[in-house]
A and B are shown apart, each in its own frame.
Chain A
Amino acid sequence: MRDLRALLNAMRQRRSTETDLAAGDPGLRRLIDAARAPGTATELSGEKEFTAAFTAERKRAARAARRPARTRAVLVPVTAGLALLLLSGTAVAARTGNLPQEAQQHAHRLFSALGVPAPRTGTPSPGVPKSPNPSTGPAPSRPGPAPTVDIASFTRCEAWRGGAPLSSHDKRKLVAAAGSEPAIDDYCRKVRQSASPSTPPQPSPPRPSSSGEPSLPPSGTTAPPTPGPAYSDPQQPETGRKGRPTVEAPAPTRKSPAGTKQPRPSVAKSPGRTTHSKPPPSR
């Protein structure tokens, strides 16, 4: 018991030795108290400076924290602008048919209603370089705004006759001009007649021979420019129809399935050339 108390005493003493020692000796206590004395005015004279430094640091930190947001505020419009530029550029290229073939096909499938043409694969005219550059390519092949109404409707008629895919926009125009879809053939014949007088003697618009035969789809690469009568056999419209399943669709205004789109034959090009100063391709 005594041993235990002694041990506890020793432990207690050991734990508090420093402070006990400081408190036990009067001189030492005085010294420690003096060292612990409250701050003097001299010691505390720098309060304003350090508080100001504290405030400045917090302001700086707040500015630094805001910086990412500011960067974002600049980046977003810039990125949006670039994206817009890119998109509009692509749109223009698609509208003018200047995209790479596959991309053009894609754009055509998606945006044919906006007048995006199909890719001009295999332009059969050897005189015209197969360049995507619009300055060298014959402009009238595009279904965009045509110089005159006649040319436009003529082009559409040629495409219609040739079994080429018509954009729904073109088809709607055609139906509107003819009055109804069955009347398109008659209408086109008239258009062709009115156009032929102004056509100088030249290889007539090449169109697929015996056009519309199922065995011979009007792919531009295989359509030989057969010189012949401007328009001929009355059976042509019917045969032409055979090849086009969408024509018989009950709803005339229904959009033709995009998947049936095929490269436009160069048929539609020829009439347009007559109105341009470009010489017809030598043939």
Chain B
Amino acid sequence: MPDDPLADALLAARDGDRRGFATLWRGLHPQVLRYLRVIAGDHAEDAASETWLQVIRDLARFDGDLAAFRGWLFRIARNRGLDTLRRRPAPPVPAAPAPADAATLTLENDGTAWALALIAELPADQAEAVMLRVVIGLDATTTADILGKRPGAVRIAAMRGLRRLAAHPQVRDRTHPSRQGV
């Protein structure tokens, strides 16, 4: 549903329209940032900035529809995210405090951060597959393209990640507290 305005915004932005770009950014930046939060942790903000700056620089040369643009955008995001990680390796801590964070987030009712923290706990290939394929909703081919895998492998990774998440105590528990809380 929100794809139509975004498709128009993409055309306008490519032609240099500032408001078109703003619409595009508002529609896609949260997804980019969340994906990067999963794969780059604390460097997500930096990586997202670099991603958008590269998009801004090359958008005039981009030729494709919105689906292609999303694939392009998240490919850039992945590369920038991995770059940031390579440059400044993430502190090895996040894996440990993440459950704690998730717990507090549950209390704070910040569902999004909680969900991302749980996804980030997955093995990297599963986390990426879940984010791109399920959360962001890219098709299997595009996702496989971005991850450099075959679509079958991506599908399997996503499945495993989802099963793992479903088995997560917080997810199982959450069904009750959230029903009560919301």
- Bitwise, B1-27 to A at CB < 8 A (1) or not (0) is 000000000000100101001100110
Interface hit among B66-74, B76-84, B92-100, B168-176: B168-176
Closest residue of chain B to A62, judged by CB? B16
Interface hit among A42-50, A103-111, A155-163, A178-186: A42-50
Q: Does B53 contact A (CB under 8 A)?
A: yes
Interface size class of A (residues with CB under 8 A): 20 to 34
| CB–CB B25/A50 < 8 A | yes
| CB–CB B172/A34 < 8 A | no
Q: Given A22-B134, A46-B29, 14 other A-B contacts at CB below 8 A?
A: A18-B155, A18-B158, A18-B159, A18-B162, A31-B165, A35-B112, A35-B116, A44-B29, A46-B49, A47-B25, A47-B29, A50-B25, A51-B18, A51-B25
Q: Does A78 contact B (CB under 8 A)?
A: no
Q: Does B47 contact A (CB under 8 A)?
A: no
Q: Does B104 contact A (CB under 8 A)?
A: no
| CB–CB B112/A34 < 8 A | yes
Q: State in angstroms the CA–CA spacing of A113 and B176 once bound together.
A: 109
A54-B134 in contact given A30-B178, A31-B115 (Cβ < 8 Å): no
| CB–CB A54/B112 < 8 A | no
| CB–CB B30/A39 < 8 A | yes
- Bitwise, B33-48 to A at CB < 8 A (1) or not (0) is 1100000000000000
| CB–CB B163/A34 < 8 A | no
Q: For A55, list chain B residues within 8 Å (CB).
A: 18
Interface size class of B (residues with CB under 8 A): 35 or more
Q: State in angstroms the CA–CA spacing of A228 and B158 once bound together.
A: 119
Closest residue of chain B to A43, judged by CB? B30
10 smallest beta-carbon distances between A and B, as pairs: A39-B30, A34-B111, A34-B115, A27-B171, A35-B115, A28-B166, A35-B135, A27-B175, A54-B21, A25-B166
A21-B166 in contact given A32-B135, A47-B25 (Cβ < 8 Å): yes
Give 14 pairs: A residue, B residue, CB < 8 Å, sorted on A. Answer: A18-B162, A22-B134, A27-B166, A30-B175, A32-B135, A35-B115, A35-B119, A39-B26, A39-B29, A40-B30, A40-B112, A50-B21, A51-B22, A54-B56
Partner pick for B174 among A19, A27, A43, A57, CB 8 A cutoff:
A27
| CB–CB B33/A43 < 8 A | yes
A-B CB pair tally, cutoff 8 Å: 98
The prevalent SS among residues of B at the interface is helix
Q: State in angstroms the CA–CA spacing of A53 and B171 once bound together.
A: 40
Q: For A26, list chain B residues within 8 Å (CB).
A: 175
Residues of A within 8 A of B (CB): 17-19, 21-22, 25-28, 30-40, 43-44, 46-47, 50-51, 53-55, 57-58, 61
A32-B56 in contact given A27-B175, A39-B26 (Cβ < 8 Å): no
The prevalent SS among residues of A at the interface is helix
| CB–CB B30/A38 < 8 A | yes
Q: For B34, list chain A residues within 8 Å (CB).
A: 35
Query: Nearest chain B CB to A27's CB is how many angstroms away?
Result: 4
| CB–CB B166/A53 < 8 A | no
Q: For A37, list chain B residues within 8 Å (CB).
A: 111-112
Q: For A27, list chain B residues within 8 Å (CB).
A: 166, 171-175
| CB–CB B155/A47 < 8 A | no
Q: State in angstroms the CA–CA spacing of A44 and B26 once bound together.
A: 7
Closest residue of chain A to B158, judged by CB? A18
Q: Does B146 contact A (CB under 8 A)?
A: no
Q: State in angstroms the CA–CA spacing of A55 and B165 once bound together.
A: 42
Query: Nearest chain A CB to B72's CB is how many angstroms away?
Result: 16
Q: In the complex, which of the residues A35, A44, A51, A53 has the most CB atoms of chain B within 10 Å of its own CB atom?
A: A35
Query: Nearest chain B CB to A15's CB is how many angstroms away?
Result: 9
